[in-house]
Chains A and B, each alone.
Chain A
Amino acid sequence: MASARPVLEAPEISRVLTRIAHEVLERNRGADDLVLLGIPTRGTHLARRVAERLVAAEPGAGPLEQLVGSLDVTMHRDDLRRNPVRALGRTSLPPGGVDDCVVVLVDDVLFSGRTVRAALDALSDLGRPRAVRLAVLVDRGHRQLPIRADHVGKNLPTAAEESVRVMLEEVDGRDAVLISGPDDAPEPAPEPAREQAPGAADEEGAR
């Protein structure tokens, strides 16, 4: 699609994930009882990257395998009957489970909030965490449920018809966040638009 324009590139994504790792540690006062669960597909990779940074930053943080897992929410979604059937992602918990842990859900884009709603349901079938927090790379607004992220990589004001696409090295071969208008809508010259978007969003990003 010609109208897709990048709003985050690889170095920015890397810095954002480092910041999120430190925020998570600060909020949790260390890495004790911490479990990061990524929501497949891209959330899983993001969770892993945040966990790697967390282990590097915090001497007491346990090995990666005890810190990070994945949580597939497909079977808890409320829109299954509106779409063609989906393949399932993998759910894998650290060996200790999630009981009495602080679980940080990690996803790429926070939009309607329905995926997170499904994740909370899926999580409650797996155990009883002490607290659940939410970290996302991009918050693009337009929530349909009373859900808010605790750690946001970048707030990205969008129109509902626009689409935000997160690309990650592990899945797509490169790191980038792209925003594109409604299909084939003529974008008013991509260059100026690109300058505007990061400026508007950065202020909110750090929260």
Chain B
Amino acid sequence: MRHLLSAADLSREDALELLDVAEEMAATQAREIKKLPTLRGRTVVNLFFEDSTRTRISFEAAAKRLSADVITFSAKGSSVSKGESLKDTALTLQAMGADAVVLRHSASGAAHRLAHAGWSGVGVLNAGDGTHEHPTQALLDAFTLRRRLAERAGGDPARVLEGARVAVVGDVLHSRVARSNVLLLETLGADVVLVAPPTLLPVGVGTWPCRTSWDLDAVLPDVDAVMVLRVQRERMGGGGFFPSAQEYTRRFGLDGRRLRLLPDHALVMHPGPMNRGLEISAEAADSPRSTIVEQVANGVAVRMAALYLLLAGEDAA
């Protein structure tokens, strides 16, 4: 693996290998000494053009646990605010000896551009590009789901997600998490249904490998997990995507009543940060079936696995 840009690039074998490595990484994180010498001498640059708390900290923790040097670079207070281009920033980072760049950018395709424009030879991890993809989030969601379902049913870890039913609810239009999740879960054999108002489904969703529905109550009794997406009001500009927050909550919010429509074993997931009271109620977010905090912890293990697979082997020629 040279770059991790999109969940679509991962074959079933790649994805399962990454999840298996993440499982071992998670085991090391339960120990007293969490640090491993594996990436000693490698430099990872966190290049964040967009605000982020958990993804940035999670990548930073993952790289540090593997003994890589981490340089965090956020657009605020850098030369980017003086108008430096992505290309010049990339050249600067390479000159500083970066082995991998973790990139968060508001433009869809920024990670692909950085990886394939021939500006530099560093490995690129996409940590969210516009409304396009966020592959490590999808991997940590799949990791969390696989772990929980395997605890309940046992069986071959490579096949636990086959046939698992997952509802992805909410602002699919602006969500890079939704696209990455749909692609990855499909690769792993799960059955995904998107639930959203028609205004919050992207054009061309009919070509995605999943079903769609507008009726959350009808979907919930039949799923193993419901993944609630954040309503991204900062991307909604003038609004007009739904009449009011109250109406959105009434039709698509996960509240206590809807929580009780779920089967007993079903999980409640959210990539964070949450708008409590809008897409998810406090009762749902804090219920025992919520994996929201666990997802954050698993994120470190999954990102350790991604960094390991990208950086631990011999240098690509």
Contact = CB atoms under 8 A, between A and B. Distances in A.
A117 B35 CA distance: 18
A123 to B, nearest CB: 11
Given A75-B36, A76-B36, A85-B308, 11 more contacts: A75-B28, A75-B37, A75-B312, A80-B313, A83-B313, A84-B313, A85-B1, A85-B309, A86-B312, A91-B24, A121-B37
Interface of A: 72, 75-76, 80-91, 121, 125-126
B255 interface: no
For chain B, give the interface size range. Answer: 20 to 34
B100 to A, nearest CB: 13
30 contacts: A72-B24, A75-B36, A75-B66, A75-B308, A76-B37, A76-B38, A80-B38, A80-B312, A81-B313, A81-B314, A83-B314, A84-B313, A85-B308, A85-B309, A85-B313, A86-B313, A87-B17, A87-B21, A88-B20, A88-B24, A88-B25, A90-B27, A91-B24, A91-B27, A91-B28, A121-B37, A125-B31, A125-B35, A126-B31, A126-B33
Contacts of A76: 36-38
Interface string B112-133: 0000000000000000000000
Contacts of B37: 75-76, 121
A128 to B, nearest CB: 11
B315 interface: yes
Contact of A84 (B20, B21, B27, B314): B314
A81 B31 CA distance: 25
A121 B1 CA distance: 27
A82 B314 contact: yes
Contacts of B66: 75
A85 B313 CA distance: 4
A20 to B, nearest CB: 28
